[in-house]
Amino acid sequence: MSDKEKGKYSLKEFFNKYLDYIGKFTLVNLIFAGIILVSVTLLFFVSSIAGEINLLILALIIPIMSPFIGGLFHIAKKLTLDEDLNPVKDFFAGIKPNFIPFFINSFFVYVITVGLYVTFQYYRAGFDSPLKIVSFVFTIIFTLFFFNFECSALTMLVCVDLRISEILRNAVILALGGIVNHIKTLLSLALMACIIFTGIRVANDPILGIFVFLLPFCLIIPALSVYIVVFNNWQTIERIVVDPYREEHKSELREKEQNKQLEQAAEESDPDELISLAQGDPEEFVYVGGRMIKRKNVLKMLEKTDKKAE
């Protein structure tokens, strides 16, 4: 990675980007926290009707919130890739296009989360055999792999235009690669969790403890957590997936960019002027819309203009 790329993904750049939008991100967090708190309250109510707190019911918060998590990933992607960003507007704009893939994914996460919870409850009874120790180690490895897989897959869903099968295949590769970025993500999220739970323990009061938890959750945690995931994972995705694709399809991408520039120039230019400039040697360069292009490309611009007119 070049010095320029390292600077692009430095800790300083990470915070500079986030702090530029911290006010609007706080509003997004409040909206997200409000939705999740209402949803959790309703799930607790439904669970209490069954006579006890039911894990299967409470875990439904995962599919319920999945579309809104898609909105958070959308704004985190725009912030990471330096795209024009309006956090509140883009949060809602990111829900619809990501609704189906995030919702379907949430049911796999739901099943695996419940399964892991039950598994870890089983291990709490103690390790009375070597086989149980081996299975516990395997469970830890699987949990870390699944976390890395999810972070990579969801980041690719919002950042790159690939088929689902390609995203899943690449997510497996990325879950095993980019270990440094995965560790940074895990440590960052673990640090936030430690700070909050330390605050709850220091508070030593149930009411104050709830306040210590809710304040950062409502103001900071949702958008910042997703931004950490996307910012770290995109570095690996860009190196392993995007850059090789760009290199392999360099000529196609250059042609697409050229066509895009031609379309823009055609929209900005007078058709009569284009007709005049198209006369002459096709290989000769002429000045159109602030760009130097060949006359043969002016003909292409005219063709595009005629097709739009039809």
First and final CA of the chain: distance in angstroms? 48
| Model pLDDT, residue 156 | 94
* Structure confidence by residue, pLDDT tens digits, 179-237: 889 999 999 999 988 888 887 777 677 777 777 777 777 888 999 999 999 999 999 99
**For residues 117-139, average pLDDT:** 85
Question: Residue 67 gets which letter from DSSP?
Answer: H
Residue 10 has pLDDT above 90, yes or no: no
Two structure tokens written together for 26: 């706080």
pLDDT-wise least confident of 82-86, 118-122, 209-213, 249-253: 249-253
Residue 84 has pLDDT above 60, yes or no: yes
Point out which residues pair with 230 in neighbouring strands: none
3-state secondary structure 138-155: HHHHHHHHHHHHHHHHHH
Q: Which residue has the higher pLDDT, 114 or 48?
A: 114
* Structure confidence by residue, pLDDT tens digits, 239-274: 888 888 777 766 665 666 666 666 666 555 666 666
Residue 2 has pLDDT above 60, yes or no: no
| Model pLDDT, residue 78 | 93
Kind plus residue range of the DSSP H or E element containing 294: strand 291-294
* Structure confidence by residue, pLDDT tens digits, 167-176: 999 999 999 8
Residue 4 has pLDDT above 80, yes or no: no
Residue 93 has pLDDT above 90, yes or no: yes
| Model pLDDT, residue 9 | 84
Point out which residues pair with 288 in neighbouring strands: 291
**For residues 16-37, average pLDDT:** 91
Which pTM was predicted? 0.77
Point out which residues pair with 273 in neighbouring strands: none
Residue 28 has pLDDT above 90, yes or no: yes
Under 8 Å CB-to-CB from 84, ≥6 apart: which residues? 78
CA distances for 87 relative to 42, 53, 126, 173, angstroms: 27, 36, 47, 31
Residue 91: band (very low, low, confident or very high) from pLDDT cuts 50, 70, 90 = very high
| Model pLDDT, residue 307 | 53
Two structure tokens written together for 248: 């392999």
Two structure tokens written together for 111: 């099943």
Residue 160 has pLDDT above 80, yes or no: yes
* Structure confidence by residue, pLDDT tens digits, 29-81: 999 999 998 998 898 888 777 666 677 888 889 999 999 999 999 999 999 99
Residue 145: band (very low, low, confident or very high) from pLDDT cuts 50, 70, 90 = very high
